[in-house]
Structure 1
Amino acid sequence: MSASPSSTLLVVDDDADMLRLLTLRLEAAGYRVLTAASAETALTQLALERPQLVLSDVRLPGKDGLALFDEIHAQHPMLPVILLTAHGSIPDAVEATSRGVYTYLTKPFEGKELLDKIAQALALHSAHAADTASAASSAANEPWRADIISRSARMAELLAETRMVARSDASVLLRGDSGTGKELLARAIHNASARAKKPFVAVNCGAIPENLLESELFGHVKGAFTDAHTNHKGLFQAADGGTLLLDEIGDMPLALQVKLLRVLQERAVRPLGAAQSIPVDVRIVSATHRDLDTALAAGQFREDLYYRLNVVTLHLPTLAERREDIPLLANHFLRKLAGKYGNEDRGRKLAGFAPEALKALATAPWPGNVRQLHNVVEQVCALATTPLVPLTLVQRALRTPSVEVLSYAEAKQRFERDYLVNLLKLTDGHVADAARLADRNRTEFYRLLQKHGLTPGRFKTGGDTSIAGTGPSSSSSPPVAPERHGQVLDE
């Protein structure tokens, strides 16, 4: 992954040799590099020029890297920060990722790993900015579908078909699992049609008892039944000139299906207890999550009504079928809901999701589709105390185990390194014994140690077993030798 010539990185480290080495490596990769030897200098640098990413050591003189991160995110919540840490400060770095740090790298680390993490962070930051701009552009340029947030090819095809269908007055049947957004699509059809300035009315046919649904749909006159104290206009009359959404049409009782068919054929409704029918001009959009073909075969849905409603069918994809929309939707819901829970009033302005939190959202199964995603985001908005929603909070809302989400390559890399470390500890740093236990020849085993920047001598009794490239801080560490550079940034 190549660097963009415009990508500017701020590198913070009080070790002059490390700062110089990192600068050379990053500039060779095509980045423009700004440097600072302390957190205070870094903050001054940020006030003068805004980089696209900050790379900082955890151990710094005065204000440490974690405190620097807190100040950066208070001022620039979406600016990605990567921390460099020795083993002794790993718990602090892990805790920092839950507060919004993009990631941390443990010394010694490979040069390729560092460049990969930087490229990933910059790509994620750019994608978030592009998604925000894209969503705003879609809402501005296509107000008829402003509430439908998407960038996926699947949804683009559906929306193109929707706009074409909206120009006619044909009845539309929307099919899709619960929570996929059928009512939003029905509203989009209405907004893109010639009826847009007339009413849009929605009714859930499965949520109203049968004895009340007929009155809700068709209305009633005073005295039609015991509690009919006044005349009541039904939803067909309320939607006159506009669009009526019959949601969960598959749950409508058979007796009412007959009366609905008559209304559609005659284009007129007769309120309960009335002697005369009232003409209505209504476009019907119906929706269901049920398999109506199965209901037809079981005699639970009338075939003549089915064909009357199903002039055009639109299928809504599940959220799992449009995963590229998940980050966009999650951030959209976050922006809408943050104000509801007073995040800004309580001094905890929400700016987005931590990268691993967004990754967890993007890979979750989502049986409840977009509705479930909205509920999850609402829960984290209510509980969030940091600018970026952490992974642990998303896992809690998803009711998933609190485990770190790693790619296969990252998990394999971590396992391999830990395996080698344990072997060297077990054999007191003797490579021949460790290679024999690993069932590898010494040459291959040395290559593995070099790959992970491990020095066998550090595991001998009395040696430094921290296996960190640096000590806690440069002030307490010996001068940096050239070979240490090779360990820290070994490829």
Structure 2
Amino acid sequence: MLNSVIVVDDEASIRTAVEQWLSLSGFNVQLFARAEECLAHLPRHFPGVIISDVRMPGMGGLQLLERLQADDPDLPVILLTGHGDVPMAVEAMRSGAYDFLEKPFTPQHLLGSLRRALEKRQLVLENRRLHQQADLKSRLEATLLGMSQGLQQLRRQVLELAGLPVNVLIRGETGSGKERVARCLHDFGLRADKPFVALNCAAIPEALFEAELFGHESGAFTGAQGKRIGKLEFANGGTVFLDEIESMPLAQQAKLLRVIQEQKLERLGANQSISVDLRIIAATKPDLLEEARAGRFREDLAYRLNVAELRLAPLRERREDIPLLFEHFSRAAGEKLGRQVPALPGAQLAQLLAHDWPGNVRELANAAERHALGLGAPNSEVAPAGQSLVAQMEAFEAQCLRAALRQHGGEIKAVMEALQVPRRTLNEKMQRHGLLREDFVARG
């Protein structure tokens, strides 16, 4: 239950009395003698109620109400009025005030109005939270494409972790989309308006690694002309994505560990520490603990990075996502080229589903671009990877069900007619493939 209350009144005796009543009833109370002070200290999305006198020096209660309504029309404001101000207060309620209390008022009267206002505020904030979650979920579905159970679980994990102040380790094969997932963790979290800095540890020569990561002062080494801000310092307040973290030199691993532990760094050639606020997202293909046992990675750093772990399934383990991804990449390539992309024949779709995709999503995107360019059938240069007939049929069936559900907006009767299957059979197949009608219903 929300319990935050702000009281604005120029009379010290009123402020003291109200504070005592409300504090004894378990409320968290802030007091202000002037409306201007209240506005200056009011947090955004204040989770509580404002109680304000109508007549005060400077800005009055009605002006305060107007300012508060402009920022948040759903913020409950209870006005305290003298006898002659009652008509004015009634008019204010028509303009959005929650309630008014005529002085002198009893503690019971105040508490009753306040509790009702807080209940309303709680409902409003919960409704906003649910709408925000639905919006984030919709945006994430458009960013991390796929309807397989693995992708649905990944999206849930990303939404859960995005708002938490923890480091994350992403495990996945080359081309499986690790940087895209890292970007989602940043974009859907509390640091979204701060820098996102990506660094591929395997692409930096060892001799340049420290300067790249930590920066340097002028003259720190031969050729160091001028001061340079490193990647970690540049990302202050935001997120650093360290891809192929297993390739980081051991000497730099020790320095990164110190930054994570102390939230401070030193540029090369500097004697002064710089405070930084960073979230580290690292990505790796091998198991970092196995790398540590082999002496190639610091075990203490592995634990610091792996506060939470996300595993990205290779494309061959979520074949039902292949048609959707291929269609997306083909359409994007067609729009970029300004040309119509031909539909994919069934035989070529079967070939897509049969291929093992060692390059994962990156390889699939390349095949889709070739298809959009008219450079032959996708994957025509490779033969099917020998998947069992049952596996290929299962993947194809799942895609057919998904396409029909999407086409008919989750209307089960229309899907039954389109696929010519009875209700019980359709239900069984949807359950086997992890398909939910709700995921295909058009959102208003």
After TM superposition, the score normalised by the length of structure 2 is 0.55
Q: Does 1:245 align with 2:241?
A: yes
Distance 1:144 1:225, change over 3 A: farther
CA deviations over 1:410-445 (Å, ceiling 9, x no partner): xxxxxxxxxxxxxxxxxxxxxxxxxxxxxxxxxxxx
- Pairwise CA distance, 1:157: 0.9
**Pair 1:225-2:208 in alignment:** no
Give the 3-state SS of the residue equivalent to 1:383 in structure 2: coil
Show CA shifts across 1:68-102 (max 9, x none).
xxxxxxxxxxxxxxxxxxxxxxxxxxxxxxxxxxx
- Partner Cα separation in structure 2 for residue 367 and residue 307 of structure 1: 29
Q: 1:287 to 1:141 in 2, by over 3 A?
A: closer
- Within a 5 Å distance, the mapping from 1:132-211 to structure 2 comes to 142-144=138-140, 146-211=142-207
CA distance in 2, matches of 1:383, 1:179: 24
For residues 186-221 of structure 1, give each alpha carbon's deviation from its aligned partner in whole angstroms, at most 9, with x where no partner exists.
111111211111111110111111111211111111
Q: CA deviation at 1:162?
A: 1.6
Aligned to 1:361: 352
Aligned to 1:314: 310
Cα distance in 1 between the residues matched to 2:135 and 2:146: 11
- For the 8 Å contact 2:169–2:310, the answer to whether it is kept is yes
The answer for the alignment partner of 1:383 in structure 2 is 374
Return 5+ residue gaps in structure 1 as ranges. 1-137, 385-391, 409-491
Q: Which has the bigger relative contact order, CA under 8 A and spacing at least 6?
A: 1
Q: Is residue 385 of structure 2 the alignment partner of residue 394 of structure 1?
A: no
Residue by residue, what CA displacement relative to the aligned partner does 1:345-377 show, whole Å, maximum 9, x if unpaired?
Answer: xxxx11432222122111211111111111221
**Counterparts in 2 of 1:162 and 1:273: CA distance versus 1, 3 Å:** same
Indicate how the Cα distance of structure 1 residues 382 and 268 shifts in structure 2: closer, same or farther if over 3 A, else same.
same
Contact persistence 1:144–1:191 (CA under 8 A): no
C-alpha deviations, 1:301-321, integer Å up to 9, x for none?
A: 111111111111111101011
Q: CA RMSD in A?
A: 2.7
Q: Take 1:190 and 1:140, find their aligned partners in 2: how far apart are those partners?
A: 13
CA distance, structure 2, for counterparts of residue 406 and residue 322 of structure 1: 15
Code of the aligned partner of 1:195: R
Q: Which 4+ residue blocks in structure 1 deviate beyond 4 angstroms?
A: 138-141, 405-408
SS class of match (1:142): helix
Q: 1:359 to 1:290 in 2, by over 3 A?
A: same
The CA deviation at 1:169 is: 0.6
Which whole-Å CA distance do the structure 2 matches of 1:187 and 1:336 have between them?
Answer: 20
Give the partner amino acid of 2:263.
R
| Secondary structure of the structure 2 residue equivalent to 1:333 | helix
Q: Matched residues in 2 for 1:210 and 1:406: separation? A: 45
List aligned pairs for 1:308-457, cutoff 5 A. Answer: 308-340=304-336, 342=337, 344=339, 349-384=340-375, 393-396=377-380, 398-400=381-383
Are the equivalent residues in 1 in contact too, given 2:250–2:296 (CA < 8 A)? yes
Amino acid at match of 1:331: E
Kindly state the Cα deviation for residue 343 of structure 1 after the two structures are TM-superposed: 5.0
Distance 1:302 1:213, change over 3 A: same
Letter in 2 for 1:245: F
- Whether contact under 8 Å (1:145, 1:188) holds in the other structure is no
Task: Provide the rounded CA distance (Å) in 1 between the counterparts of 2:379 and 2:188.
Answer: 39
- Number of aligned residue pairs: give it: 259
Deviation at 1:145, TM superposition (A): 5.4
For the Cα contact (< 8 Å) 1:201–1:235, is it kept in 2? yes
User: 1: distance between equivalents of 2:214 and 2:201?
Assistant: 13
| TM-score normalized with structure 1 length | 0.50
Change in 2 beyond 3 A, CA 1:185/1:225: same
Secondary structure of 2:356's partner?
coil
User: Amino acid of the residue matched to residue 171 of structure 1?
Assistant: N
How far is the alpha carbon of 1:147 from its aligned partner?
2.3
Q: Which whole-Å deviations, capped at 9, do the CAs of 1:18-66 have from their partners, x for residues lacking one?
A: xxxxxxxxxxxxxxxxxxxxxxxxxxxxxxxxxxxxxxxxxxxxxxxxx
Q: Give SS of 2:229's match.
A: coil
Cα distance in 1 for partners of 2:137, 2:268 equals 45
Unaligned runs of 5+ in 2: 1-133, 391-444
Matched, 1:273 2:269: yes
Aligned equivalents of 1:395, 1:315: Cα separation in 2: 27
